Each structure stands twice: as C-alpha cells, then as structure tokens.
Structure 1
Amino acid sequence: MRPAIRPAVAADLESVVSLDALCFKSSSGAWSAVSWADEFSRSDRVVLVADEGAVVGYVVLLVPPFAEDPVELLRIAVTPAERRTGIASQLMSAALSVCAGRDILLEVAAGNFAAVKLYQGYGFGEISRRAGYYAGGEDAVIMRRQEKDND
C-alpha cells in the first residue's frame, strides 16, 4: 500500500518531530519542536507528509513569494523501516509538483550517497560545496534543479 502524500496539519506535529529526531540524530541535527511548529505556521513553507495511518515521511519546502526566486528543499526524511520503498520518491514528486516551473535548491551532506543519488535522479546537479560545513568536517553539497524553460 502506497502512503497518501498530503499537506501536514497541526495534528501531525508530534509525529514529524519524532521522525525528525529519529532521522537526524547523528547528522545535521534534528529540529526542535518549537522550530517545527514555526515551519507548520509559516506562509512561505510547504510541509507535506507521507501518511500510512501514521506519518512515515515528510518534505519541507521554502517557497518564496516571487516566482523568479528558487524554491529551497529544506528537509526530507522517511522512517528507517520504510526506506527503499519509494516513499522518498513519492515525496520528491509531490514537492516538484508544488514547485512546477521554478528552480529548486537544496543542501545535502556529501556522504549521504542515497540522498545525492535520489536528487540526481530528479535532475539536481551539484553547483557548489561548503567545505567542512557539518559536524565532523563533512562537506555540504549545494544542488540545483533548473527548470528547462529558465535556461
């Protein structure tokens, strides 16, 4: 059964906070419950969740008000038990639908090979790096998906 991808609602906050803590405990750091509450309330954010009766994934986008400004993919995560089942791809497809016609930027840890491969599969390419950006000295890779009509 494929999860439903839908906009997050206030009732999802606790589940998203827990999932974020599980997925980002040892890398770039989990966001606090206060930070997540802010993400849920901001008009320039789109938070989508993958729902299988419980939240099993999410994606967060910063969508600037001006169409010429790129969207930023801020965060995407899937519960470890559900990885490699296509949920991240469902979330990416839904995120790209929200961003139709706009360039998208993201940042990912250089050593997160699964995420880099996922992003490359959706047309993202590396545009720069931030050397030693993450704890432990890992580089951050800045990637961009440019809409073809903006070339």
Structure 2
Amino acid sequence: MRPAIRAAVADDLAALVALDAVCFGREAWSSIAWVNEFERLSEDRVVLVADEGAVVGYVVLLLPPVELDVVEVLRIAVAPAERRTGIGGQLLTIALERCAGRTVLLEVAASNESAIGLYRGFGFEEISRRRGYYAGGEDAVIMRWREEA
C-alpha cells in the first residue's frame, strides 16, 4: 500500500523535525528552521508529507510566484526503513506536478548515489557543484529539471 501524500499541517512539526534529524544528522534543520518553514507555507513554501499513519517522508519546495521561473526543492527525505519502496519517487512526482512549466533546482551530497540516481531517473541533470559545501568538505551536486515540451 502506498502512503497518502498530503500537505503538511502544524501537527506534523515534531515528526518532521525528528525525521529530518534521522535523515540528515549534522545537516538537519533546527526546530526553529522548521517553524519558519511552517510560517511561510501560505507564502512561498510547500511541504508535502508521505503519511502511513505516521510521517515517513517529506518534500519541501520553495515555490515563488509563477512569473518567477525557478522552483527549488529545499529538502526531501524518506525514513530509512521506508527507503527503496517508491516513497521518494512518489513525493518527487507530486512535487514536480506542482512545478509544471517551471525549472526545478535541487542540491544533493555528491556521495548520495541513491538520491542522485532517483533524480536522474526523473530527468534531472547535474549543472554544477559547490566544492566543500557540506560538513566534512563534501561537494554539493546542483541538479536541474525542466519539463519536456
């Protein structure tokens, strides 16, 4: 059974903070950062969660007004026990549907081959790198997706 993908609500905040910490460790967003994301939901943020009775994944989009062509995937994560079940792809599919006609950018740790493979499978291409961007000096791979005409 596939999880329901829905808009995040305030009651999801604690689960999102906890899942982010598990998935990103030292690179996790603070509770305050998550509260700030929720405060901007009606402006330019979209947070979608994969819900199987508990939050098992999420995606955060920076979705500026439509006259601005670029959307940014700020964060995407799936609980370790739920990886390779299609949840990441399901979240990304729904996120990209929201971005129709626009360019989408994201960054990913160069060592995260699983995520890079997922993004390439959706048509993302590497466009640049930020050398030493992450803790420990790891590069960030910048990837771009454009909807095919």
Q: Please report the TM-score for the alignment, with normalisation by the length of structure 1.
A: 0.94
- Residue 59 of structure 1 aligns with an amino acid whose one-letter code is V
Q: Does 1:31 align with 2:39?
A: no
Q: Provide, for residues 45-80 of structure 1, a one-character-per-residue CA deviation record: whole Å limited to 9, x for no partner.
A: 000000000000000000111434210001000000
Distance in 1, matches of 2:16 and 2:60, equals 11
Distance in 1, matches of 2:101 and 2:74, equals 18
Distance in 1, matches of 2:115 and 2:21, equals 18
- Residue 49 of structure 1 aligns with an amino acid whose one-letter code is V
SS at match of 1:143: strand
1:40 aligns with one of 8, 15, 38:
38
1:95 corresponding residue in structure 2: 95
Matches within 5 A, 1:112-127: 112-127=112-127
Distance in 1, matches of 2:68 and 2:38, equals 24
Q: Provide, for residues 59-113 of structure 1, a one-character-per-residue CA deviation record: whole Å limited to 9, x for no partner.
A: 0000111434210001000000101100001100110111111110001111100
- Gap runs ≥5 in structure 2: none
Aligned residues: 147
Matches within 5 A, 1:1-151: 1-26=1-26, 29-42=27-40, 43-149=43-149
Distance in 2, matches of 1:85 and 1:66, equals 32
Distance in 2, matches of 1:134 and 1:33, equals 20
- Residue 106 of structure 1 aligns with an amino acid whose one-letter code is L
Per the TM alignment, residue 19 of structure 1 is displaced from its structure 2 partner at its CA by: 0.3
Paired residues of 1:105 and 1:145 also in contact (CA < 8 A): yes
Which portions of structure 1, spanning 4 or more consecutive aligned residues, are displaced by more than 3 angstroms? none
Distance in 1, matches of 2:136 and 2:71, equals 28
Q: Please report the TM-score for the alignment, with normalisation by the length of structure 2.
A: 0.95
Cα RMSD of the aligned pairs, angstroms, is 1.0
Q: Share of identical aligned residues, percent?
A: 69
